[in-house]
Structure 1
Amino acid sequence: MIHYLIVDDEPIAHRIIEKYCAHLPYLEKKGNCYNAFEAMQFLNENEINLLFLDINMPKLSGFDFLKTISNPPKIIVTTAYQEFALEGYELNISDYLLKPFNFERFVKAINKTILPIKEKGNSLVLTKSETELVASSFFLKGDKKHSQVHFKDLLFIEAYGHYTKVYLKNEIIISHEKISSFEKLLPESQFIRTHKSFIVAKNEINHIEGNRISIQNHKIPIGQTYKGNVNKLLL
């Protein structure tokens, strides 16, 4: 479980972040702070993995507050001020959300941020494979709605012009996401890139014959560049 804290002087910002986080089962709220001094005290008394931080707050700005933390958690900045983005990345933040941000953009920030996080005692270990235990699904926008896609239901993904087709056991979702985005998101232990246009679920492969992979009644090509990836499955 990823424990998060919201630091923002606007109550409505807390409600929006809480609403979005409620859709992601691996996120758990630990507290709400409305200025930097409250956050200082809270962090001294609690272990936090992820901090949603506003910049423009009274008395002490978000970035000035961040500079006082010796061992900061992962930081997602939430602000209406685009001009501070460069300074934020110099402070090693994970992502910079410009208000007002929608749910799709929020999920991208979360996926980018929690990928290297794993709880281990009171510390964070930066590994990708171990964090796969944390995230077992993601939200995907398609057909004017956000659908929760569970890894266990995903058969394969196909690049389709400017879109991608996400083949699930019971439906197909057409998405604007690039296939490279899915490759970064999906756990390597469960999925494999077999072609410039295809990512497949390892557990759903029926058989491999020549340069083709069979999944249910689908035939997925194996590209020459990715043949080495597939050969590793045969060892």
Structure 2
Amino acid sequence: MIKYLIIDDEYIAHDIVKGYCDLLPNMQLMKNCYNALEAIEYLNENAVDLIFLDLNMPKLKGFEFLKTLSLPPKVIVTTAYKEFAIEGYELNISDYLLKPFSFERFLKAINKTVSSTSKTTHSILEKKVSVSDSIFLRSSKKYIQVTIDTIQYVEAAGNYTKVITTDEIITVREKFSDALELFSDLDFIQVHKSFAVSKKHIKSIEGNRIFISEYIIPIGKTYKSNIIQLLK
């Protein structure tokens, strides 16, 4: 379960973020905060995994608030001001969403955030809470949360992508090139124009073939350099 906090002085912004989160599994809203001081008071006694943070708020601005936290949880900025993006990334935010943002863009930010394997520590109580090592995949009209460690490889299937896990095969409504972006920061390697594999699930490599569990994955000629780098 990903426990999150919304910090924004606009009521409609709370409704939008919560509405998007309600479409996803394992997202639990802990509190609506309408200024940074209210959030500080809450965080003094409670730990969360993720904060959705507005920047232009009364009393204490978003980044000023963030600087008061010695070890903040994951932060996704939600703002109408694009000029503060560089400062945000210098503060190690997970993503920077410009209002108004679509659900697809919101989902990309969530995937980027929850796939992180890092652990955060609450700055006051020093309670350790981890962000789930998982990713949300859109299949048909629903969103499925998948543990990244179970994903063996991904395969192009026309305008769709197949994600093969140790438990099931999920058909994702994304082109292969777009789906690869979801795994760009993870331990995956593209070995063919239609295949990318999880390094940890490779059982053996023989000639132009990769063996993963009971599956045999071809190695494309233009991707052999990726295999050479892997074997070094």
Q: How much does 1:104 deviate?
A: 1.1
Structure 2 CA distance for aligned equivalents of residues 47 and 214 of structure 1: 43
Which consecutive unaligned segments of at least 5 residues does structure 1 have?
Answer: 126-130
Q: Cα gap change, 1:79/1:26 in structure 2, threshold over 3 Å: closer, same or farther?
A: same
Q: How much does 1:154 deviate?
A: 7.0
- Aligned residue in 2 for 1:166: 162
Cα displacement string for residues 147-196 of structure 1 (whole angstroms, at most 9, x for unaligned residues): 547469977534689x663366677545255354143366x4xx664335
Cα displacement string for residues 101-156 of structure 1 (whole angstroms, at most 9, x for unaligned residues): 1111111111222213447882256xxxxx6xx3555133x89x665474699775
- From 181, 195, 207, the counterpart of 1:198: 195
**Superposed, which structure 2 residues align to 1:169-188 within 5 Å?**
172-173=171-172, 175-176=174-175, 177-178=177-178, 180-184=180-184, 188=187
Look up the equivalent residue of 1:138 and give its one-letter code. F
- Aligned residue in 2 for 1:47: 47
- Aligned residue in 1 for 2:63: 63
Contact 1:159 1:179 in 2 (8 A): no
Structure 2 CA distance for aligned equivalents of residues 39 and 171 of structure 1: 38
Contact 1:194 1:230 in 2 (8 A): no
Look up the equivalent residue of 1:123 and give its one-letter code. K
Look up the equivalent residue of 2:42 and give its one-letter code. F
Q: How much does 1:76 deviate?
A: 0.9
**Superposed, which structure 2 residues align to 1:47-196 within 5 Å?**
47-114=47-114, 115-118=116-119, 122-124=127-129, 134-140=132-138, 147-148=143-144, 150=146, 156-158=153-155, 165-166=161-162, 172-173=171-172, 175-176=174-175, 177-178=177-178, 180-184=180-184, 188=187, 193-195=190-192
Range moving further from structure 2, 95-104 or 111-120: 111-120
Q: Cα gap change, 1:197/1:67 in structure 2, threshold over 3 Å: closer, same or farther?
A: same
Q: Cα gap change, 1:208/1:84 in structure 2, threshold over 3 Å: closer, same or farther?
A: closer
Aligned residues: 219
- Aligned residue in 2 for 1:17: 17
Q: Cα gap change, 1:63/1:21 in structure 2, threshold over 3 Å: closer, same or farther?
A: same
**Secondary structure at 1:45 match in 2:** coil
Contact 2:152 2:198 in 1 (8 A): yes
Look up the equivalent residue of 1:157 and give its one-letter code. V
Percent identity, aligned pairs only? Answer: 50
Contact 1:50 1:75 in 2 (8 A): yes
Q: TM-score normalized by structure 1?
A: 0.70
Q: How much does 1:63 deviate?
A: 1.6
Contact 1:166 1:174 in 2 (8 A): no
Q: Cα gap change, 1:172/1:88 in structure 2, threshold over 3 Å: closer, same or farther?
A: closer
Question: Relative contact order, CA 8 A, sep 6+: which one is greater?
Answer: 2
**Superposed, which structure 2 residues align to 1:27-38 within 5 Å?**
27-38=27-38
Structure 2 CA distance for aligned equivalents of residues 225 and 201 of structure 1: 16
Structure 2 CA distance for aligned equivalents of residues 40 and 101 of structure 1: 26
Look up the equivalent residue of 2:117 and give its one-letter code. P
Contact 2:25 2:144 in 1 (8 A): no
Which consecutive unaligned segments of at least 5 residues does structure 2 have?
Answer: none
**Secondary structure at 2:83 match in 1:** helix
